């Protein structure tokens, strides 16, 4: 009798697969649970991984660059924080030694293909033809059973593309990051810097916007308003802004004393507001950010948890399509059994034909995100919000377009036209299925007829300025990266998170720090292709060709090596100049982040330029004044956690407030004064 070992991506996923495939027993080995099922064909063992059990590392030591000789090693050997993986690695080795057949049962995407393949290949040296693939989009019992009953062949294209991506990212990340840090060391400084194949172009997009904002010079303009007791109308000619002050004052002087106006034109436009399309990951991240202010990275984590609990389909998908084979009616019937969605589901089920709105984007591996209909247990507050959003969107895509009406009427005053506009909903249709997440303007105007005379209350003239372009939000830059085909749905949010961790960007909306701007300008000057969208996109397209088996890993990696050698050779020749430029900004940025605000004691005693600063010593850290020793004002700081200035003062004591981010435990905000009344109950 043969033994078949299935490799699950995580312990929770392995457990769900076991529950789906039959009566199982649990055998614990090295502290890890394995699930064993006896079948007519032999023994089936489901053994869990914990993500990437193997990671890339250079073959020989040393800290020079460029480095291209790499190999896959157990992750616990390459990362101090991955020691917990050792027992999973050892358990997988023990189970795979028994195997006659191997099944990669990790998530069906590039990452899952690499995780499962590396475990099987590097532990057993199994041939590719001996590896089978489970392909599923939900962790429901039916889908998992169907995936096991219809095992696919080894997914060579997806695996090769995934491995190529990892190696490419390693090549670019390790080599260019080392180049930056070695340049800084040439200037006698030590600073962790990084960039990468996607990270560089992403930072450049943000930096370009930041430079545009900094260079922006506002232009003044004027707007004139007519005020009626029930509405407000705005002066319009070819446009509603007046760019010349004298002209604005002239128009205002010609209308300001008028007390009546005549309706000269009434325009009614009936239109439809189309049904929304199904969520892919980027769409979900964008909507969760808009509705709940949840970051893209957090949304992705929440969606992954919902998926692992069997509540939604696989979230890391590009698709905006829901194929009929999913069984819409069956999902809706299951959702109907959840009391929060009974009424909604009944409305949709009453339709004669279930035909969802479809988006344009496809994903060969997975459909758009949808609820499975499984009943959720205890969800956290944020998990409940994201789950509700996904369920409501699933209902809404089956709705009818909403019917809207816009009304515009023109008012004539002494030869000048003023326009009042409104939009109202006539038939809500899909709005009723997506509440409370519908956001449309509703502004009604009274009924008007052409030739009608109305009383005017008064007129206003307002001077305004043009505004710089908006900064990107986190979801906005993730959307931008998707549109430009930079990175993948699974990595875009974590790329932005890495830019935050390196202090290249801060705040929300995103501001690029002086350090981030300098990194971009340095890379642009000395190795522009590192921040080139075109080069990154070109490699993304090549990986798609590898997945379709139209190109090979070897050819793409050889091309990448040649390109990097060319770039880094030029960089190496300029290390000293690059280091000098970087160090100047690094020092200034470090000082900027340490400053908390003016010193109250110095202000009270008449000393100028007293600034409270975070001071670090071998014994710890505290807040002190830049005027020391003339000013000995100090405040203690928490021992643990990274500290960020909130750029605001405490309402009670006036000292600066800080944000403390902890690796363990909850983040919190506080003022730095330990005697402040806000801490009475601490």
**Active centre residues (catalytic):** 314
Task: Give the number of other CB atoms < 10 A from CB of residue 477.
Answer: 25
Asked if residue 575 lies in contact with residue 182, where contact means CB atoms within 8 angstroms, the answer is yes
Beta strands in 75-143 (DSSP E): 101-105, 131-133
Spatial neighbors of 275 by CB under 8 A, at least 6 apart, are 357, 396, 397, 399, 400, 401, 430
Spatial distance between the Cα atoms of 543 and 487, rounded to a whole number of angstroms: 11
DSSP 332-380: HHHHHTSGGGHHHHHHHHTSSS------S---SS---B-B--PPP-S--
Q: Output the CA torsion sign for 392, 395, 398, 403.
A: negative
User: Per the structure block, which two tokens stand in for 177?
Assistant: 């990051």
Spatial distance between the Cα atoms of 199 and 499, rounded to a whole number of angstroms: 7
Spatial neighbors of 377 by CB under 8 A, at least 6 apart, are 309
Asked if residue 7 lies in contact with residue 120, where contact means CB atoms within 8 angstroms, the answer is yes
Question: Which residue has 């932005």 as its token pair?
Answer: 496
Residue 268 bridge partners (DSSP): 407
User: Per the structure block, which two tokens stand in for 255?
Assistant: 């209308």
Residue 482, sorted as left (phi over 0), alpha (psi -120 to 50) or beta, turns out to be alpha
- What is the β-pairing status of strands 620-625 and 634-636? antiparallel
Spatial distance between the Cα atoms of 659 and 664, rounded to a whole number of angstroms: 15
Asked if residue 49 lies in contact with residue 119, where contact means CB atoms within 8 angstroms, the answer is yes
């Amino acid at each position: 009798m043969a033994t078949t070992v299935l490799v699950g991506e995580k312990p929770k996923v392995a457990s769900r697969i076991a529950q789906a495939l039959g009566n199982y027993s649990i055998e614990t080995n090295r502290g890890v649970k394995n699930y064993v099922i006896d079948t007519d064909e032999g023994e089936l063992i489901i053994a869990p991984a914990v993500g990437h059990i193997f990671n890339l590392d250079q073959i020989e030591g040393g800290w020079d660059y460029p480095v291209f000789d790499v190999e896959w090693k157990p992750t616990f050997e390459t990362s101090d924080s991955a020691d917990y993986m050792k027992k999973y690695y050892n358990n997988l080795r023990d189970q795979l030694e028994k195997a006659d057949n191997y099944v990669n049962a990790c998530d069906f995407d590039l990452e899952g293909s690499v995780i499962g393949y590396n475990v099987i290949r590097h532990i057993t040296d199994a041939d590719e033809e001996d590896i089978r693939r489970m392909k599923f989009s939900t962790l429901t019992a039916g889908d998992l059973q169907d995936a096991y009953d219809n095992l696919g062949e080894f997914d060579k294209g997806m695996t090769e593309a995934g491995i190529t991506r990892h190696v490419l990212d390693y090549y670019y990340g390790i080599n260019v990051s080392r180049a930056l840090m070695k340049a800084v060391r040439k200037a006698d400084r030590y600073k962790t810097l990084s960039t990468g194949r996607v990270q560089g172009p992403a930072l450049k997009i943000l930096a370009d916007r930041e430079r545009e904002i900094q260079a922006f010079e506002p232009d003044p303009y004027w707007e004139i308003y007519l005020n009626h007791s029930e509405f407000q109308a705005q002066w319009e000619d070819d446009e509603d802004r007046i760019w010349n002050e004298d002209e604005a004052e002239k128009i205002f002087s010609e209308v300001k004393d008028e007390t009546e106006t005549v309706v000269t034109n009434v325009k009614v436009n009936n239109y439809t507001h189309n049904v929304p399309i199904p969520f892919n990951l980027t769409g979900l991240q964008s909507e969760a950010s808009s509705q709940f202010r949840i970051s893209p990275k957090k949304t992705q984590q929440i969606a992954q948890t919902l998926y692992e609990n069997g509540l939604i389909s696989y979230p890391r998908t590009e698709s905006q399509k829901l194929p009929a084979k999913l069984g819409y009616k069956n999902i809706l019937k299951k959702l109907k059994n959840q009391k929060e969605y009974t009424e909604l589901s009944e409305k949709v089920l009453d339709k004669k034909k279930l035909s969802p709105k479809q988006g344009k984007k496809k994903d060969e591996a997975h459909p758009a995100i949808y609820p499975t209909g499984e009943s959720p247990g205890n969800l956290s507050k944020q998990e409940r919000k994201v789950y509700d959003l996904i369920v409501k969107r699933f209902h809404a895509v089956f709705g009818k377009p909403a019917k809207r009406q816009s009304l515009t009427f023109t008012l004539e005053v002494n030869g000048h036209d003023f326009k009042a506009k409104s939009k109202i909903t006539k038939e809500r249709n899909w709005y009723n299925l997506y509440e409370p997440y519908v956001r449309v303007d509703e502004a009604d105007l009274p009924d008007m007829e052409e030739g009608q005379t109305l009383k005017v209350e008064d007129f206003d003239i307002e001077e305004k300025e043009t505004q710089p372009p908006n900064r990107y939000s986190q979801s906005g830059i993730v959307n931008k990266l998707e549109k430009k085909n930079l990175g993948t749905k699974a990595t875009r949010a974590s790329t932005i998170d890495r830019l935050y961790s390196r202090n290249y960007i801060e705040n929300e909306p995103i501001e690029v720090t002086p350090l981030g701007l300098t990194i971009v300008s340095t890379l642009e000057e000395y190795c522009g292709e590192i921040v080139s969208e075109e080069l990154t996109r070109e490699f993304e397209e090549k990986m798609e060709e590898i997945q379709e088996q139209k190109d090979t890993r070897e050819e793409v990696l050889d091309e990448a090596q040649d390109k990097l050698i060319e770039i880094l050779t030029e960089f190496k020749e300029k290390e000293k100049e690059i280091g000098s430029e970087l160090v100047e900004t690094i020092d200034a940025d470090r000082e900027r982040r340490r400053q908390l605000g003016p010193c109250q004691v110095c202000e009270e005693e008449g000393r100028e330029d007293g600034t409270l600063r975070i001071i670090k010593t071998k014994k710890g850290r505290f807040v002190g004044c830049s005027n020391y020793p003339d000013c000995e004002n100090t405040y203690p700081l928490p021992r643990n956690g990274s500290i960020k200035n909130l750029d605001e003062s405490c309402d009670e004591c006036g000292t600066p407030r800080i944000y403390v981010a902890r690796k363990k435990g909850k983040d919190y905000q506080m003022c730095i004064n330990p005697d402040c009344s806000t801490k009475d109950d601490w």
